[in-house]
Structure formats: C-alpha cells, structure tokens
Amino acid sequence: MDKLVIEGGLPLKGEVRISGSKNACLPIMSACLLTDDKCMIDNIPQLKDVLTMSEILSFLGVDMELGERAIVRKSGSYENFTAPYDIVSTMRASICVLGPLLAKKKKAKVSFPGGCVIGPRPIDLHIKGLRALGAEIKIEGGYIVARAKKLQGANIYLGGHFGSSVLATANVMMAATLARGESVIHCAACEPEIADLAKFLIKMGAKIEGYSTPIIKIKGVRSLHGARHRIMPDRIETGTYMIASCITGGSLHLKGAESSHLMAVIDVLRQANCLILKTERGLLVKRAKRDLSPVSVSTLPYPGFPTDMQAQIMSLMCVANGISVVTEKIFPERFIHISELNRMGSQIFLEGPSAVISGVAKLSGARVMASDLRASAALVLAGLVARGKTEVHRIYHLDRGYECIEEKLSKVGARIKRIKDD
C-alpha cells in the first residue's frame, strides 16, 4: 500500500491538464451494454474505477480494449448477465450496469454496490424506476435480481429524501431507451454527467429530450447502434485544483476546464477572495487578495454546491481569516475527514449537519488517514499549505478518482512523492 509524503508551504504555479470525468465515464461505459456494435469512448481518465468498470464489462462477456485515454467496445454479442460481488463491491457506480443489462438481456443479476464510506446511499430509487418500467426485482443473497419480458414506457418520479439521484437517473434513462413507448423521468438529476450520458445515447440512436432539466423524456427505440464520444472534463478534479491554487497562494491555469459546470464553486471561491478568469484553453485561478475570507456553504444537488467538493472547501476554510460554516445536505455523515484535519491544527467542530471552522494562521504537517475519495483530496490540499511534512495514508481512495495527482502537482511546484507505506 502506498502513501503520499508532502512538504508544504510552496505556492503552485503553472498549468494542469484536466482529465476526463470519472462520474461521466462510468455510466457511459455501462451504456455500451445496450448495443452489440462497436463503440469508442475518448478522453478516458486513467483511474482505478475505470479499470474496475472495464473488468465488470469483460466479465459480462463484452469485448473491451482499454488504451491510453480511450476505450473500445468491439462488436459482438455477450451472454452473461451477472455482475459479481468481488468486483461490484469495490465501486458504487457498478450499479449502472443494472439498467442496460435489463433492457438488452431482459434479465440482470447485480451485486449490491460498494464504494466510499460516506453514509447510507440506498438503491431504492433505482429499483423504483426500473419496476415502473415493468421489471420484476427481488433481493436474493446480496444480489439485485431483475427480469422483464418487456419494458414499457412510464411516468417515473425519482425524487428521494435528499433530492434527485444521479446514478438512478442514469440507470432508468438507459433502460428506457429500449422500452416500448415514451418514458418521462420527473425529478431527474440535472448534473452535467447526465447530459454527457444522454448525448452519447443520442449518438447511439436514442430519442431523448430535456436532459439538463428535471424532466427527461425518452421515446423507446427497437435497437441502438455503435457511436463515438468524448468524455467531458472532470468538474470535481477541476474544483480540487482550483482550491489547490487558492490554498497555496499560487496561480494555476487549468487546461480544458469548463466553467459552466462549476458556477456554484466559482461563486464561493470568489466570495473567499479568489480570482477565476476564463481563458481560451480553460480557467486561470489565483488569490485576488492575500487573506482568504470565510464563507458559508451548503451542499445541494446540481447546480448547487456539489457534495463532492465539501471536504476540499473545508480545507481551504481552515486557513481563512474568520469563521466559516459548511453544511452537508446530501450525505449528512460525510464528515470523517474533520478529525484528520484537526490533527493538522485546524479548528473544526460539528453542530448537527454543519461544520463550523475557525480559520488558523498555519496548519502543521502530520500523519493522517484518508477515509474516502474526496476526503483524501482534502488532506492533500491541507498538506500543500501545512508547515512541515504531511503523510497521507490509504491513498488507494485517491487512485479511484484523481489521475496521477502527485505527478500533476509536482509539475506545478509541489514537493510531493508517492512511496510504499511501512
């Protein structure tokens, strides 16, 4: 197992290339199950989760070829319809194969998914949506077992306790492309990753309207064909490097970044005295003033402030000049990183679903333990500004969602290296 060792205190300067979006890529890879034709997906991020999804598709019998920043689904049918526990248990997005398998094979057996420990993330909306399309679904031995002689278009409401569900919207939308008649998803997720999936499905011959809005309409077709698609830039990676620039007092040009996907994050960073400028090639990010101002943030479904940026903005507020409040409204238990940030000298305490952060002049390097993907990034950000040496352990979480993070940071001036853990 590896760890990252960071010597903090240096401003980051230079250019960072933003990778393809992990959260867009995984459902799009799953969508290749809907056709027997060849598909090509470009701008694939080189991540552990992408390898895991490729393993799942290969296990199902899909002939996949993973290259450098591209993946090809070769033509030919597949026969398997079971996604096993050993692979699915490592990644939440594995659930995305359920809808395409059911639509294409009329049956699916998918293990309950795993992923980061950030609180309960039930799959009830996935099951509700697919049942509305006519599927019979049972839970047997830790597996979701689904069958359908035919899928029929329906009106489906996908609102949950904490708002819409991105993966449930993706699953139901994919299944509905091969259903008879028209399906309408109400309270659909509006995230850019859903729009990217819809664009790929449309290239495959699907008839979809209203993506990027809470009401998505899908007219089922008899079959889908192969297509080629380029994955959108990763907005969470972009946001993380924006904060890396601001927290170190540096200046980074984020090549390929899309500002329209990050308006809530940009707004909060501007409140914190950060300067974000749109350029021909991406975004330029640096501090507008020497001191960072405190902010109050609540995570919300898109286009609100993303829960996947909650831990990172908290790291930034640890060194702001004043008291900040970060409220988590999507995953109320997503605060495991607080204790590790406090080990580095931050002053954070929980008050219900909110974290109250009293900014300090300096953080101190320490041995810290990553609990999930975005918490890992938050600890790296804190290490970049901390005085002395920080060791971030259990960084396998980072490898699931950040492509070559230590290499990208090193190229812009960070003193960071990956070594074998003792």
Q: How many helices (H) and strands (E) are present in the chain, helices listed first?
A: 14, 24
Angle of helix 22-31 relative to helix 235-248, nearest 10 degrees, comes to 170
Taking alpha carbons only, the member of 346, 358, 301 closest to residue 328 is 301
- In the β-sheet with 70-73, what is the strand arrangement from edge to edge? 64-67, 70-73, 39-42, 228-230
148 close to 133: Cβ distance less than 8 angstroms: yes
Sign of the CA dihedral running 60, 61, 67, 71: negative
Between vectors from CA 219 to CA 213 and to CA 222, what angle results, nearest 5°?
140
State the catalytic residues. 116
Distance, CA of 36 to CA of 74 (rounded, Å): 8
C-alpha gyration radius of the chain: 21
4 close to 410: Cβ distance less than 8 angstroms: no
Integer angstrom CA distances of residue 340 from 14, 235, 393, 394, 415: 29, 25, 11, 13, 21
